[in-house]
Amino acid sequence: MEYAVFRLAMRSLVFLVAFALCVLHLMRKRDFIEAVFRSPDEVRKSFTGRNDILFLRILNIVPVVVAVATAAFLLTALLDVPRIAGGDYLRVEGVAVCRAHGGADAPSERRGISVRDGETGEVIDLTVFSGYVDEGERLAVEYLPHTGYGAIVGRG
């Protein structure tokens, strides 16, 4: 599980840098942001050409979308921090619903798996770092509830 937490931390760090860069860009280009919400007639006074205005609006919308998406991921990662600090991960024992054979058969390979819980019958989608997983294989997985990152702790 330590490797999964490490990979989650590295991914969160990259998303945090992306979020900071987007916010910094939006703060520095305050007049460009205002151009998104002003009428085209007001914008034409400072910019020439219809394509310039369209290009300007697209350039301002992209960082906003990226900032919102990265903030959503960082929020889910923050919700898992208390479980990481306490070491009380959720555990599911059940059967793999689908096979995950993409990439190399290495323990560091990132895989998306679905596990049907043996007690409740609920299907849980998880991201694990492991070798190949076959459909119908019995698994015991520890995972974080909000991000879905986990580790296979038992097979068979």
User: What pLDDT, in 10s, does the model give residues 6-31?
Assistant: 878 888 888 888 888 877 777 776 66
CA distance 134 to 1: 20
Per DSSP bridges, beta strands 138-143 and 90-96 are antiparallel
> How much is the pLDDT for 32?
57
Range 77-105 burial, b when 16+ CB lie within 10 A, else e: beebeebbeeeebeebebebeeebeeeee
Which stretches within 29-118 are classed as H helix? 30-37, 40-46, 50-86
pLDDT of residue 41: 63
The answer to whether the beta carbons of residues 110 and 127 sit under 8 Å apart is yes
For the chain, give every domain's residue range.
2-86, 90-155
Say which CATH architecture domain 90-155 belongs to: Beta Barrel (2.40)
> What is residue 20's predicted lDDT score, i.e. its pLDDT?
84
Contact criterion met (CB below 8 Å) for 118 and 97? no
pLDDT score, position 117: 85
- For the chain, the farthest-separated pair of C-alpha atoms sits apart, in whole angstroms, at 70
- From first to last of its 156 residues, the chain has per-residue pLDDT tens of 667 778 788 888 888 888 888 777 777 766 655 655 666 566 556 556 565 667 766 777 777 788 888 888 888 888 988 888 888 888 999 898 887 777 766 777 788 888 888 888 889 888 888 778 888 889 888 888 888 888 888 887
pLDDT of residue 53: 65
Please report the pLDDT score of residue 45 as a whole number: 60
User: What is the pLDDT at residue 37?
Assistant: 61
- 38: which DSSP letter? S
**Rounded CA gap, 42 and 49, in Å?**
13
Distance of CA 96 to the CA centre of its chain: 22
pLDDT at 99: 78
pLDDT for residue 42: 60
